[in-house]
Amino acid sequence: MGSWFFIGAFLMFMIVWAVANTMIFAWDPYPYILLNLFLSMLAGLQGAIILIAAKRQDSISAMLAQHDFETNVAAKQELEELMEINHLQLELLRELHTQTSSAKK
């Protein structure tokens, strides 16, 4: 129900229905009561299909958000570990600098 083929076929069906009922057979005269019934049923089905699709999309979005959160937590942990290593390296460099500067004196 969400493709251009469906839209074209649906419009063609509506035109054929209107022409056939107006000029040829007239099993459903002008106000097209039977056609209105079918269109109402189609609208009800479309509403249900749209809700099902929206619910499915919400669950996919929730899974993607959970994956993003887990990735961010892992990245934060890795950054904290790298920052700790960086601080240790800076402390070692300061110690080496103080040792070399005191050895020169």
Please give the model's pTM, rounded to 2 decimal places: 0.53
- The reported pLDDT for the residue numbered 26 is 78
The residues, any chain, with a CB within 8 Å of residue 29's CB and separated by 6 or more, are: 21
Q: Compute the CA torsion angle 76, 82, 86, 91 (nearest 10 deg).
A: 90
Please name the helix (run of DSSP H) or strand (run of DSSP E) that holds residue 24, with its range, or none. none
Average pLDDT of adjacent 10-residue blocks, the chain of 105 residues: 79 86 80 87 85 91 97 98 97 93 79
* Token pair of 21 as six digits: 């009922």
Nearest to 21 by CA among 10, 33, 9: 33
